[in-house]
Amino acid sequence: MAGQTLYDKLWAQHKVLEEPDGRTLLYIDRHLLHEVTSPQAFSGLRNAGRKVWRTDANIATADHNVPTTDRRAGIADPTSRLQVETLDQNCADFGIEEFGMMDKRQGIVHVIAPEQGLTLPGMTVVCGDSHTATHGALGALAFGIGTTEVEHVLATQCLWARKSKSMRIWVDGELPPGVGAKDLVLAIIGRIGTAGGTGYAIEFAGPAVRNLSVEGRMTLCNMAIEAGARSGMVAVDDRTVEYLRDRPFAPSSALWERAVSVWKELHSDDDAVFDREVHLSGDEIAPQVTWGTSPEMVTAIEGSVPDPGNAPDAVRRQAWENALVYMDLAPGVPITEIAVDRVFIGSCTNARIEDLREAARIVRGRRKADSVRSVLVVPGSGLVKAQAEEEGLDEIFRLAGFEWREPGCSMCLAMNADRLESGERCAATSNRNFEGRQGAGGRTHLVSPAMAAAAAIAGHFVDVRTWK
């Protein structure tokens, strides 16, 4: 019998029961809640007179609607305010712990859960948010769900699911200097397409993945959904264990040793068989920039905007043509000649401390280009913000003319006041370049934190591998 994949192990360990047709009732260890996808779930519970099955499995925070400027005056937009207040009230009514807007531990839900040790290896982690895949970086089975499923988890601590197929994305070699996890995941999406992972659980593996920090692995798993996969994961190793040591909600003393010995089994067996294998060479990855309105519309920094005439099929040709019209780009334009109006450094993809360090490394001692209207740096959590300030990164950004903000989702999806004006072009470290994502009519180019910082200084995209 072939060995088990990491996904096989995580799946088997959470099976409460399996119906003859393969539908499985899976136990959920950790449920994360935010204000946008939970209010209708709580009203569903109320209407049916149901309780929360296990309050201590839940943790909530407000991240999508919160202002990133001074918060002491509260939220100006009444609908945003109502949504955040509704979360506060629901958590109070149902006995769920919440990191409220003024709590130092507040932040983007996918940043704060690992940071607090609320995400642990071997867990099933769900949230009404597609970027829940992030938590797979710690050897967990993590995936996004809809609001009806949020209500289901609250009421039963379980979800009905069918096992996905398995895919291993193996990255050999080493990423070159200046090339990071974001470039790697964009290159992967460029290779397999935004639907390439549909129906699969992806395990990222190989020397170049092992070599990433746990934060880098989160960036990688975060965008598994942009490749179509609900979950992405990385096996547990010493880096995972060291990352979790002394986190506030991680086990301590005797339980720590016990937990670590269990966690060390969370990897695919050598003889495990995957339904699909994809190989990439890490050494060949260059900094990536998206040029269109889907994350698969991506190329290397030395590339140029493609000609729809060269698209592989008619459906894509149409999609590329639409994208170039929306993005106001012409075929053949070198990526390095694309000028940006705004820069956004943040989001659940790239707002952890090492992302901010990487951006600061590029910026130190320089100023943003005059042609760039604004540069927003939005830390992923209150604790990331405090750490960055302790290291003086905020000062580096301020001296460069960047804005240093309070934590939240911010301009990744523009539900709060941070957004692009119609026609504005933005270099963003976030995860989606869909039409209107960062504001109606706004144009998004997805890049790494280093590439975003360099674009802010130069006023256009530049190759950070040659940055001096």
Rounded least distance, CB 425 to other proteins, Å: 18
Cα–Cα distance, 99 to 78 (Å, whole number): 21
Using CB under 8 A as the binding rule, whether residue 244 contacts other proteins is answered as: no
Q: Is 43 in the site for other proteins (CB under 8 A)?
A: yes
Q: Which of residues 181-240 bind other proteins (CB under 8 A)?
A: 194-195, 198-199, 225, 228-230
Q: Which stretch binds other proteins (CB under 8 A): 15-23, 170-178, 205-213, 375-383?
A: 15-23
Q: How far is CA 4 from CA 229, 274, 277, in A?
A: 20, 9, 15
Q: In the range 117-156, which residues lie near other proteins by CB under 8 A?
A: 118, 120, 122-123, 128-130, 143-149, 151-152, 155-156
Q: State the first-to-last Cα distance of the chain, in angstroms, to the nearest integer.
A: 54
Please tell me the distance from the alpha carbon of residue 161 to that of residue 230, in angstroms, as a whole number: 12
Contacts of 254 (CB under 8 A, 6+ apart): none
User: CB of residue 432 vs other proteins: minimum separation in angstroms?
Assistant: 6
Residue 149 in tokens: 């499923």
Residues in region 419-438 near other proteins by CB under 8 A: 432, 434-437
Candidate list 4, 6, 29, 170; residue touching other proteins; CB under 8 A: 29
Size of the residue set binding other proteins (CB under 8 A): 80
Q: Does 50 bind other proteins (CB under 8 A)?
A: yes
What span, in angstroms and rounded, lies between the C-alpha atoms of 240 and 123?
Answer: 14
- Which residue number, 297 or 457, has a Cβ lying nearer to other proteins? 297
* Minimum CB–partner distance for residue 245 and other proteins (Å): 13
Q: Please tell me the distance from the alpha carbon of residue 460 to that of residue 357, in angstroms, as a whole number.
A: 21
d(CA 393, CA 385): 9
Letters for 91-110 (x = contact with other proteins by CB under 8 A, - = none) are --------------------
The residue among 211 and 252 lying less far from other proteins, judged by its C-beta, is 252
In order of 122, 134, 398, the CA distances from 430 in angstroms are 27, 13, 21
For the chain, what's the residue count? 468
CA distances from 302 to 187, 287, 297, 362, 465 (A): 14, 9, 15, 19, 11
State in angstroms the smallest separation of the CB of 198 from other proteins: 6
Residue 23 engages other proteins in binding (rule: CB under 8 A): yes
List 3, 12, 19, 367, residue binding other proteins (CB under 8 A): 19
Convert residues 355-394 into a mask of x (bound to other proteins by CB under 8 A) and - (unbound).
----------------------------------------
Placement of tokens 């692009």 in the chain: 420
Q: Smallest gap, in angstroms, from Cβ of residue 251 to other proteins?
A: 4
Site for other proteins in 288-317 (CB under 8 A): 294, 315-316
Radius of gyration of the chain (CA): 21
Asked if 163 interacts with other proteins (CB under 8 A), we say no
What token pair was written down for 250? 């991680």
